[in-house]
Chains A and B, each alone.
Chain A
C-alpha cells in the first residue's frame, strides 16, 4: 500500500484503506460481514449507476463520490481507480446471486442448477446495463497489477455457484470443477459482450455447448482413470490368486 495513497486519503477515512481478510470458515450462525464499509459502499454504489453512460473510468468514481456527498479527493480511497469499480460490481453480483435465484424443490440436478446459476449471473450483468461497457472492464481486469484480484474474484464466483448448486464433493474434483467452471464462465462472459441477439439467446447456446464439452471431456477422463484403476486392482488380485504374496 503506497505511502502516497495513505497520505492523500482524507484522515477521517484512512482506516478504511485496510482490507478485510477473506472469509474462510462459513458459519451459519451469522451473516457474513458486508464486503465494503459504509463510505466505500456509498461511493461505489452511486458510481455504478453512472457506468452505462460513462464506462468504468476514474471520472465515474469522482462523479459517484460527489453524488454520495463526499469530496472529490475521497476517490483516493480506491488506489486502483476504475478497477475498484469493476471489483465492486463483481463482488456485489456474486453475493446477490443467492437472492436472485433459489431452487425450492429437490428435482433439478446439480448440472442444471449450475447452468441456471451461470445464466442468472450473466443476466445480472445485463440488468445492471454494464454489458456494453464490459469490454473496458475486461481490459482493466487483465492489467498485470489487477490479475491476481480478478482471478480471486473469478474463483470465488465459481465456488459460490458450485455451493449454491448443492455440490458436496470435497476431493480432487473440488479443484477440477471450480477450475473448469471458471474457464467456462469467463469465456461465456466474453462472448456475452459481443452478443447482439434478443435476450442473449446466443450466449445461452454458447454456454450449453461449453457445458457439453465439459461433460464429454470430463466424463472421458474420469472413465479412463477408473479403467486404469480397475486394471491395476485386477492385476494385483490376479497375482494374489496365483499365490504371489503381495
Chain B
C-alpha cells in the first residue's frame, strides 16, 4: 500500500531558502541605508498639498536650541545647490536672450521678466551663502560654461527648443525646491511639537525658498504656454536636460 503524504501537509520547520550569503546581506543593508540617508530630496508633490503653519507668517522669537549637526549639513548642501542652480538659470537666459529676442521680438518682455526674477534669486542666494559662511560649489566655472552652452545651443535650435529647455530645467528645479520646502516645514512642525522656538532665520529661509519656488513654477507655466511641447526632439531634449540637472544637483551637493 503506497501512502502518499499530500504536499501541503508537509510544513518544513526551517525556511527553504534559509539565509542570504554574507555579501548579499551586506549589499542589501547598504542599499537600505543609502536610500534612508539621502540628504537632498525631490518632491513632485504639488505645492497645494504643503502644510501651511501660521507661524510661518509671524515674526518669531530667537531660538534657544541650536540646529543639530545634520540640520546644518542639510542647509549647507541645500543652499550651495540652490546658488549653483540660480547661477545656471541666469546664464541660460543670458545666452538665450540675444538669438531669441532677435528672431521673436514679442518675447523680449517675457524673457526680460524671467531673467530679472532669476537674477533676484541669484542675488538672494549669494547673500545667504556669504552670510552663513557656506562654501560655494567648486564646479562653479564648469557650471558657468555648461549653462552658457546649454542656453546658446537650445536658442540656436529655435524658440520651441529654448522653451523646452526652460521647461525641463524649471521642472527639475521646482521639484528640488518642493523637496526642500517640505523638509524645512517638517522641521518646523517637529519644533512646534517639541515646544521649541523656530527662530527668524529658519522662518525667513522657508518663506524665501517658497517664494522662489513659486516664481520658478511660474516660469515653467510661461514656457509651456509658449509652445515648449512643440519642440522637435522633445522627449530627447527634455530627458537629456533633466538628467543633466539631476547630475549637476548631485555633484554640487558633494563638491
Contact B133–A26 (Cβ < 8 Å): yes
Chain B residues with CB under 8 Å of chain A are: 62-63, 66-67, 69, 71-73, 75-76, 79, 83, 98-99, 102, 126-127, 129-136, 138, 140-141, 152, 156, 199-201
Assess whether A27 is in contact with B66, with CB atoms less than 8 Å apart. Answer: yes
- Within 10-24 of A, Cβ neighbours of B (below 8 Å) are at 21, 23-24
Query: Which one of A24, A33, A174 lies within 8 Å of B73 (CB-CB)?
Result: A24
Mostly helix, strand, loop or mixed at chain A's interface?
A: loop
A–B complex contacts, Cβ < 8 Å, 29 sampled: A21-B69, A24-B73, A24-B75, A25-B67, A25-B71, A25-B72, A25-B75, A25-B133, A25-B134, A26-B131, A26-B132, A26-B133, A27-B66, A27-B201, A29-B62, A29-B63, A29-B199, A168-B130, A170-B83, A170-B129, A171-B136, A171-B140, A174-B135, A174-B136, A240-B98, A240-B99, A245-B99, A246-B99, A246-B152
Tell me the complex Cα distance, A32–B62, Å: 15
| Known contacts A171-B140, A172-B140: A24-B134 contact under CB 8 Å | yes
Would you list the 9 A-B pairs with minimal beta carbon distance, nearest first?
A168-B130, A25-B72, A24-B76, A26-B133, A30-B66, A170-B129, A170-B136, A25-B75, A29-B62
Query: Is there an interface contact between B140 and A33, defined as CB atoms closer than 8 Å?
Result: no
Q: How far is the CA of A245 from the CA of B156 in the complex (A)?
A: 7
Apart from the given pairs A24-B72, A29-B63, 10 other A-B contacts in the complex at a CB distance below 8 Å: A24-B75, A25-B67, A25-B79, A25-B133, A26-B133, A26-B134, A27-B132, A29-B66, A174-B135, A246-B99
Nearest CB of chain B from residue A175's CB, rounded to whole Å: 7
The number of chain A residues with a CB under 8 A from chain B is 23
Residues of A within 8 A of B83 (CB): 170
